[in-house]
């Protein structure tokens, strides 16, 4: 089994036990340094202490199971405001919010789309772009999907500019 998948399974079990949602697991090599990055969340968000506690417990599990061979750094954090959308379930959870989708191949002459999440429909995810167009993509077409925070959203609605 691939290291990322093994870490994901261990982290998922631990997250469920602790009342967290496992958002994502990445296994990266950054500047010759191996990094296991885990993103967790829960309603109301996670705090630094939550991440530290989860990190210690996951580190013990990884070491006990010898999941990652050799030296590595374990990073546990919240998904942040530009939260990645890694499943159709997460797309459903954030219907009505702003997101950006990037496709592997150009669709209608472009790869980047941004707009309001319409939701999942079967194995597809949809966005309504600012021009009012609806765009639906097979989930496997998407290279990346994440939430987008617009700091001017409130002032656009009221016509104010700060």
What is the pLDDT averaged over residues 90-119?
95
Specify whether the CB–CB gap between 134 and 127 falls below 8 A.
yes
- Provide, rounded to the nearest whole percent, the portion of the chain with pLDDT above 90: 75
Report which of 59, 63, 70, 72 is spatially closest to residue 30, judged by C-alpha positions.
72
Can you give the pLDDT at residue 23? 94
DSSP of 45-81, one letter per residue? ---HHHHHHHHHHHHHHHHHHT-S-S--EEEEE---T
- The 10s digit of each residue's pLDDT in 3-27 is 889 999 999 999 999 999 999 999 9
Can you give the pLDDT at residue 154? 63
Q: What domains are defined for the chain? A: 3-77 (3.30.300.70), 88-154 (2.30.30.180)
Single pTM value for the model: 0.79
- The 10s digit of each residue's pLDDT in 119-162 is 999 999 999 999 999 999 999 999 999 999 877 766 655 555 44
């Amino acid at each position: 089994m691939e290291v990322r998948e093994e870490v994901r399974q261990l982290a998922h079990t631990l997250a469920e036990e602790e009342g967290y949602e496992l958002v994502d697991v990445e296994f990266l090599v950054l500047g010759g340094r191996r990094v296991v990055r885990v993103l967790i969340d829960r309603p109301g968000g996670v705090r630094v202490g939550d991440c530290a506690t989860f990190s210690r417990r996951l580190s013990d599990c990884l070491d006990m199971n010898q999941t990652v061979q050799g030296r590595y750094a374990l990073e546990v954090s919240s998904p942040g405001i530009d939260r990645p959308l890694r499943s159709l379930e997460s797309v459903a959870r954030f219907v009505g919010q702003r997101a950006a989708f990037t496709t592997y191949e150009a669709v209608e002459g472009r790869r980047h789309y941004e707009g309001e999440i319409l939701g999942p429909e079967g194995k597809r995810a949809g966005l309504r772009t600012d021009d009012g167009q609806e765009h639906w993509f097979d989930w496997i077409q998407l290279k990346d999907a994440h939430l987008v925070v617009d700091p001017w959203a409130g002032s656009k609605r009221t016509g104010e500019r700060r």
